[in-house]
Amino acid sequence: MVALGGGLKLAVPERKRHYRSRDAQGSAYVDADQGESLPQAPPRPCTNCGAHFAGLWCPACGERRPEDSDYRFSSLFSEWLGTLTNADSRLRASLRDLLWRPGELSAAWFEGRRQRYLRIVQVFIFSTLYYLVYASLFSPAGLYTPLWGHTNPDLSPLHHGIANRWIQAWLAAEEGRDWDSLSTAFDQNVRLLSSTLVFLLAPLTALPMAVLLWKLKRSLVEHIVFGLHFWAFLIIIVTTLGFASEALIAIWQLLSRGQGDELEIFRHRLLIETLLIYLAMLWYSWFGLKRFYGLNVYWRIPWLAVMSLLGANALVAYRAILFFLAWFMAT
């Protein structure tokens, strides 16, 4: 109703403003003025689980709703680039905190801060793949122990006596048997097994830690997670030291024109790398025990010795298992 001059009024119909919004179920549009539901096609079911999509993603299984643009080359390239970039950023973040912030990956996993890191097993698999690249190019020391190393009481204190007796018995059993043929077959098996048995290092470390740290009331899974990150760190250190050693040996042989004793060089190299591995254990243990277990400085000092013993004993047990399996495969 609009008022005009002279007391006249003109009836003018009001214009209705129509807009649409979703109803409570989100399955149809509603006219805001009339409260009537406008017809709409039924929601598209998820092809993975059968539930109805709520927007772009399925609320039941998380499947993405397919669209026509998904079948374009630009979409495929964008997905590949996004996956590569995301994996690269997670790998960089994981390696950074694994190497420079010991214990952070383990603590982040149990605190729920997992999105920016690789998963636990992925970190360990990356370290073993890094080691496999090195092992395929060179004769690795550290995790790889040749036959003579199993007869050395310093490197294999648990089983060197058995190894020496078995080798002597095998050589004396038949004529024509010699050390070189046995060593070649044995070392090939060790090269194969050393890349897969490294997974045993985590439980070999976690089990005694669960016993010694029982007052902290941590589950065995927590100790295994810490052990996986602990050994992933050490494997990366071992492999990096191996690459550095190969480069230094190549330079030395070039300068000396190949006059050195290769066996003696390998023995010194193995002992030096073992010493550096123990130093890396101390580095990770000191900061890892603080970040993950919350131990203060007074508890961490004695635990440095404990962790060194645990790491050394796990490595000794690993070498013993490696010897027995490689021996039965070779003989």
> What per-residue string of b and e applies to 126-164 under the rule 16 or more CB within 10 Å gives b?
bbbebbeebbeeeebbbbbbbbbbbbbeebbebbbebbe
- pLDDT tens-digit map of 264-303: 666 676 677 777 777 888 888 889 888 998 888 888 888 8
Residue 106 · residue 118 · CB < 8 Å: no
- pLDDT tens-digit map of 239-275: 888 888 778 777 877 777 666 566 666 667 667 777 7
For the entire predicted model, the pTM comes to: 0.67
How many whole angstroms separate alpha carbon 251 and alpha carbon 261?
15
* Residue scoring higher pLDDT (314 or 2): 314
**Where do the domains of the chain lie?**
119-330
* Residue type at 2 in one-letter notation: V
In this structure, what token pair is assigned to residue 218? 């941590």
Residue 156 · residue 316 · CB < 8 Å: yes
Give the pLDDT band of residue 25 (cuts 50, 70, 90): very low
- pLDDT tens-digit map of 86-101: 667 888 889 999 999 9
For 64, phi then psi, to 5°, come to: -85, 140
- The four Cα atoms 161, 209, 315, 162 give a dihedral, to 10 degrees, of 10
